[in-house]
Amino acid sequence: MKEYLVPEDGTLAAFTDNTCAPASFCLRRLLKERNVRVNGVRVSGDVPLKKGDVVRYYMTAAQEARQGVCVVYEDENVLVADKESGVNSEAVFSELARRGETYFIHRLDRNTAGLLIFAKNGEAEAELLACFSARRVRKVYFARVVGTPPVPRAVLTAYLVKDAASASVRVTDKPVGQKIVTEYEVLEEGASALLRVTLHTGRTHQIRAHLAHIGYPVAGDEKYGDRAFNRAHHCTRQRLVAAQLCLACGGRLAYLAGRVFASAHRV
């Protein structure tokens, strides 16, 4: 059994997605079997939650074992986690914070697998945030895309505009919104090519939206992608992984400079 105190008003589904990764994988079954309790009362559907409510998930050993994340590196200053597709970054943070002092530094989209780094003390948090702000963190992704770009390697520049109402973004060549720079290299050609993608800026949905903008969307992406291709190829999982993370930090984290962390997930 896992028990949580609700920090703010919301819904059970949203709270589960952002708090308990194992339960997020099996919430429908837990609700169907009435294995979720709010303030001691069994519930069978998504219900409103109030700040201060207590939520308990009664999972089987197999359900609870699927954490959706593993730790690939940890010391007294930082923790590097490798998350599954389908897990919110906030849920990873929630579980780590239950273990001890943890600071949220950056996030991945729910359906993007791969590496996240967290700070374990205030000094490490400040250094990591400074590194990300100064673009001294190299982030490399692997992506399967629909089709093969004719140019085998390119550095793309465009502009990204957020649409809060639809929780999405659009990419344009006109100088409006935020400038984005995305580099790619074709590693394998074919109907679903494999790209190595390096982020030079880190904006919301940047890789997915930018690749879709040039006509080669990420396979399995239902927001910006080719839904007909996804259906025809039974592509139900977004084929994007945050595969490598390399820091160029100083100060307290200087000992990590140049070290490359790698995800175990593949596209």
Q: What is the pLDDT of residue 253?
A: 96
Q: Give the CATH number of domain 146-238.
A: 3.30.2350.10
Could you tell me the end-to-end alpha-carbon distance of the chain, in angstroms, rounded to an integer? 33
Q: What is the mean pLDDT of the chain?
A: 96
Model pLDDT for residues 132-145, shown as the tens digit of each residue: 999 999 999 999 99
Q: What is the pLDDT of residue 39?
A: 98
Model pLDDT for residues 237-247, shown as the tens digit of each residue: 999 999 999 99
Residue 41 — pLDDT band, cuts 50, 70, 90? very high
Catalytic residue among 17, 53, 82, 109: 109
Listed in sequence order, the residues at least 6 apart from 256 whose beta carbon sits closer than 8 Å to its beta carbon are 78, 247, 249
Query: In terms of CATH architecture, what is 2-65?
Result: Roll (3.10)
CA-CA distances (angstroms) from residue 46 to 33, 55, 91? Answer: 13, 12, 18
Write down the domain spans for the chain. 2-65, 69-135, 146-238
Q: What proportion of the chain, given as a percentage, has pLDDT over 90? A: 96
Listed in sequence order, the residues at least 6 apart from 30 whose beta carbon sits closer than 8 Å to its beta carbon are 23, 36, 57, 58, 59, 63
Q: Which residue has the tokens 């595969």?
A: 243
Q: What is the pLDDT of residue 54?
A: 98
Residue 221 — pLDDT band, cuts 50, 70, 90? very high
Question: What would the mean pLDDT of 218-245 be, rounded to a whole number?
Answer: 96
Model pLDDT for residues 152-176, shown as the tens digit of each residue: 999 999 999 999 889 999 999 999 9
Q: What proportion of the chain, given as a percentage, has pLDDT over 70? A: 100
Active site residue 221: no
- Determine the Cα–Cα distance for residues 224 and 181; give it in Å rounded to an integer: 18
**Of how many residues is the chain composed?**
267
Whether residue 191 contacts residue 235, with contact meaning beta carbons closer than 8 Å, is answered with: no
Q: pTM, whole model, 2 decimals?
A: 0.91
Query: In terms of CATH architecture, what is 69-135?
Result: 2-Layer Sandwich (3.30)
Model pLDDT for residues 71-107, shown as the tens digit of each residue: 999 999 999 999 999 999 999 999 999 999 999 999 9
